[in-house]
Chains A and B, each alone.
Chain A
Amino acid sequence: MGEPGMSVVAIQWLALAACLLGAAIRLPDVVRGRGRVVFTALLLLSVAVGLSLEPIYLAVDRLLGGVNLANLAIRLCLYAVFVLLGVRMVAAFKAPRARKFIVGPLGIAVLAATVAFTVYFFFQSDLPYSDTGLTAFADQEAVEHYSEAGRLYPGYVAACLVGPALVSVVNRNARFLHRLAGAFLALGFGTVTVFAVLELFNVELAAGMIILPFSAILCVVLGLCLIWFSKRRAARSGGRSNLLAQ
């Protein structure tokens, strides 16, 4: 696989900065007990993104015993992020069908299977020393299955969310900022879906392997920031307009 290029590392750091910034701007509201779910999701996403960066990964994994438990942590954090965002997105976009797919029996089954496979194949793998992204062990079959399992649940939830996000984009009555945010969310979840499908068919992605998911993260975080901004702006402009006024 070789060393990731500069631009790839840059987009990873950028994604980490975006996640942290997205979480930081929500802090004042969180202190007042509002918006905790999305804040938690952004924090977990920050952890996952941070751990995909070599210096952070090696430092953290050493604390965890140097057997790549940090990689397992990335996966589990990501699943949690998709659970939290999934539940909130379907509520925000009022998408009962997508909601049924995510919190219904099928969604829970996919989540349970993904977690089970992930943990199982992790412990089946032979990972004697810390290695970011487990690239040194990529030729092991268990490691391959482990990384395949990791795309399953995120891909499933993202696929459920693309539709509702797109609907919000084409809604002419919606606020411009919400349509723009919907576009970024749709793009982000669409990318995650495509990434999972490509993996399913074993398409070789090379640098896209890292660029695709991190671009997706950037899109989703940007969408969330736009919504945060629109809420802020609405709160500042104060109250609803009086439609009975002449």
Chain B
Amino acid sequence: MMAVTAKAFQLWRSRIAPDDTVSDVCRTAGIKRSTLAQQLVRGKVSVGTIIAIARGYSRDPVQALGEFDGYRDLGFGLRPPTDAELVSQVSSIDILRLLVARSEDAERTDEPIGLELAPFPHRNSVRAWVEAIDPGDLRQSLAARTGVARQNVSAQLTAGRLSPELAVEAARIAGVSLTSGLVVTGLLTPGEGGWPGDARGRALEVLTDIELVQLARDRLEVLGKQLRKAELDDGQDQAIWENLG
């Protein structure tokens, strides 16, 4: 189930905002009235809408989501992120900057290098996270357990997206904190999802030099592939524009 049912949503809404109209709720949550109306007509309210409304009414978004079918275990499954997850949310350029910073640390003082990390999610957050938690056959199990076609799962990951349903299910399969997927897809803030603010920096500190170099190599390889693909697509666009534009 991708989203929560309109019926369950209405029940929840009447509990957290008994006196507010739908318009009031939209104003408080900062969402467009037409968006919610459309979701209600279709009978499915998106996870993003629930989170926005929970925030608007100063409710914990994780607890709010936990009141709906498909997400009831969310609160109990809240754990600190693993080191691999944390490192996956450091951008490639920050990994390289850390490498350079360590190379300039001539004294080997072993004092932590206080690098100002770029905020996340970053460009490759979703894919990097899935790779970090993958026990080996994550995409396959994900497709099998959600009924979403495998190509569809792959297409989402290639595009740097993952639906909330898949994000939570991936965390269940991998046995990591159930909110992690919602954090790396940007639906929850790191704070809401139980990711401590300085955790990424600490996860980087414990990386050995070899691990850091190998990580940098892997990231550069991914980046290289992306650049090549982008160049190819760009070449196609240019050919079309130059010849037919």
The reply to whether B245 and A231 form a contact with Cβ atoms under 8 Å apart is yes
The segment from B16-24, B46-54, B106-114, B224-232 found at the interface with A is B224-232
The reply to whether A227 and B241 form a contact with Cβ atoms under 8 Å apart is yes
Chain B 215-233 residues near chain A, CB threshold 8 A: 223, 226-227, 229-230, 232-233
Q: For residue A29, which residues in chain B have a CB less than 8 angstroms away from its CB?
A: 245
Min Cβ gap A83→B in Å is 14
Asked whether any CB of chain A lies closer than 8 Å to the CB of B93, the reply is yes
The reply to whether B239 and A178 form a contact with Cβ atoms under 8 Å apart is no
Q: Interface residues of A, CB < 8 Å — how many?
A: 29
Tell me the bound Cα distance from A91 to B232 in angstroms.
15
Min Cβ gap B203→A in Å is 18
Query: Is the contact region of chain B dominated by helix, strand, or loop, or is it mixed?
Result: helix
Asked whether any CB of chain A lies closer than 8 Å to the CB of B209, the reply is no
The reply to whether B236 and A94 form a contact with Cβ atoms under 8 Å apart is yes
Q: For residue B241, which residues in chain A have a CB less than 8 angstroms away from its CB?
A: 227, 230-231, 234
The reply to whether A92 and B244 form a contact with Cβ atoms under 8 Å apart is yes
- Using known A-B contacts A172-B155, A174-B236, A240-B234, determine if residue A246 contacts B243 with beta carbons closer than 8 Å: no
Min Cβ gap B115→A in Å is 13
Q: Return 16 A-B CB contacts under 8 Å, by A number.
A: A89-B244, A91-B242, A92-B240, A92-B243, A94-B236, A173-B229, A173-B233, A181-B240, A224-B244, A227-B245, A231-B241, A240-B234, A243-B123, A243-B230, A244-B223, A246-B118
Identify the B interface with A (CB < 8 A): 91-94, 118, 122-123, 155, 223, 226-227, 229-230, 232-234, 236-237, 239-245
Identify the A interface with B (CB < 8 A): 29, 35, 37-38, 88-89, 91-94, 168, 171-175, 178, 181, 224, 227-228, 230-231, 234, 240, 243-246
